Amino acid sequence: MRSDEVKKGYSRAPHRSLLRATGLKDEDFDKPFIGVANSFIEIIPGHFYLNKVAEIIKDEIRKNGCVPFEFNTIGVDDGIAMGHDGMLYSLPSREIIANSIETVMNAHKLDAMIAIPNCDKIVPGMIMGALRVNVPTVFVSGGPMAAGHMEDGTPIDLATVFEGVGALEAGEISEDTLTEMECNACPSGGSCSGMFTANSMNTLMEAMGIALPGNGTILALTKEREVLFRAAAKRVCELALMKQEDQEKFKFKNILNQNAVNNAFVIDMAMGGSSNTVLHMLAIANEAEVDFNIADINKISKSVSHIAKISPSLTTVHMEDINTAGGVSAVIKEISKRGDVIADNLTITGESLLTRVVNSEIKDDQIIHTIDNPYSKVGGLAILFGNLATEGAVIKTAGITGERSFKGKAVCFDSQDDAITGITGGKVKAGDVVVLRYEGPKGGPGMQEMLAPTSLIMGMGLGDSVALITDGRFSGATRGLSIGHVSPEAGEGGAIGLVKDGDEIFIDVDEYKIELLVSDEELEKRRALFKPKVKELSSRWLRQYRALVTNASKGAILEA
């Protein structure tokens, strides 16, 4: 066992002495040591109960002949960090989480790991860390939140509240209505109830085969979820107790391989996941040493139908509805009918992905459509290219509410705060293209989510008539003609920094185009005079992050 390096032989007597102080007995030194990587933190709704989840998992690990060692990562709640400078720390937290997993697992030579994530950057951060450690690892998330409801029974969620702020600004609703939304949108613990970033990543883990069926859709704080926790804990012990030669095929990189990355993007397209999944899956592919380019996403999108539409794309459908309709397994099986879009890859539970879903079925074809009756014949995400984004920009096509082709005049803002002030102050009108820059990984730094400005646009009734482009990113709750991850970003000298108020911008989603309608000669004149703005930073960590981070087309990974 890997842990023998810290527990076997006379020279490890000091190590065993320390381990005995934690409660270990003689018999424990012959058992596998399992890292229980927990993201428990009290300020995040999807995480405040994970300390109790860890107790369930550790109990099951002990019952199955292994020794659990729980440790924690940090976490940032994007919804709470949003709209102020706290959001600068959200994407950088992904790197701290990955580093903490690598540090604890390798410093103590633990044999296997079970990871308990749920929300925001925590899921991809833990996956990235697990890839570095490369021991048998099972993921089991805390589970999605139930949808909230207005007093009249209308389903609502966190996106409803953000858009409600814009609706109040526009005089469309009263403060009492906004308060009703606030008090009812998040009724319990769990990851926010729509196909936002957390649930998108929790769903993709099923497609990658690194989590058990039901991981993305079984509601948090239910008996069904406890069954899932215990099954995941039992499985990690089965892996840890295997002979070394049998264990080899279950090393994490052998599960999360090229096929798994492909499958993640296929199901992402089929279910219209958050645009943030592009950022995170590119970073995960890098850690997995998989050859995957951002341009490859469009090839997958063209081959995969969008068959499950979930809030914010369809505001009445939430994760609990997908679960009732057959879950992610039903989506995988239905999409696999199209031939070779899904690769039949080994999963952490020992069977291949297609074997796992063979008995699954769509139980409600109004919620999960068939491939013969899709919401769209192409996937729910697209990468746009052009002189404004030579390295790509991302749009959640599943969330478009107006036309898929748009031409308008630029209204430029050099920060999210300026954009919010301009939008609420009436500076943005129907037919405009909001250009929100210096919010990329380097320019922000930290690539803030832009749910506040996009929600204001939707709430003020401009969602069908205004486009927004940014080198920042979006919450999974964003909808409308919102294009993010513009690369190169303004902070590294990208063309988005050259745009002037009144310039015409053309967007054609179906042709994967985004163009600044300015001559090459004019752009070269502007570029010769251009010097990117550099924000003053008091934070040493954010200065370090800015110095190392790459742009969004590379997954905003750090390069030393």
User: What are the structural domains, with CATH classification, of the chain?
Assistant: 31-147+188-356 (3.40.50.2300), 148-184 (no CATH), 383-554 (3.50.30.80)
Alpha carbons 209 and 152: distance in angstroms, whole number: 40
Which residues, 6 or more positions from 290, have their beta carbon under 8 angstroms from its beta carbon?
Answer: 257, 258, 261
Catalytic residue ranges: 475
Q: What pLDDT is stored for residue 476 in this prediction?
A: 64
Residue 36: phi and psi, rounded to 5, are -105, 95
Q: Which among 253, 304, 276, 259 is positioned nearest to 135, based on CA atoms?
A: 253
Stretches where the chain sits below pLDDT 50 are none
Q: What pLDDT is stored for residue 477 in this prediction?
A: 64
Q: Which among 477, 411, 485 is positioned nearest to 443, based on CA atoms?
A: 485
Both tokens assigned to 217: 């859709």
Alpha carbons 465 and 170: distance in angstroms, whole number: 15
The answer to whether 507 and 483 have CB atoms below 8 angstroms apart is: yes
Both tokens assigned to 272: 């219209």
Alpha carbons 252 and 230: distance in angstroms, whole number: 20
Three-state helix/strand/coil letters over 119-152:
CCCHHHHHHHHHHHHCCCEEECCCCECCCEECCC
DSSP state at residue 32: P
| Helices marked H in 481-557 | 520-529, 540-548
Q: What pLDDT is stored for residue 460 in this prediction?
A: 86
Distances (CA, A) of 270 to 185, 200, 207, 283, 476: 26, 11, 11, 21, 15
Rg for the chain, CA atoms, rounded:
23
What number of helices (H) and strands (E) belong to the chain? 22, 14
Alpha carbons 408 and 433: distance in angstroms, whole number: 6
Q: What pLDDT is stored for residue 6 in this prediction?
A: 97
Q: What pLDDT is stored for residue 474 in this prediction?
A: 84
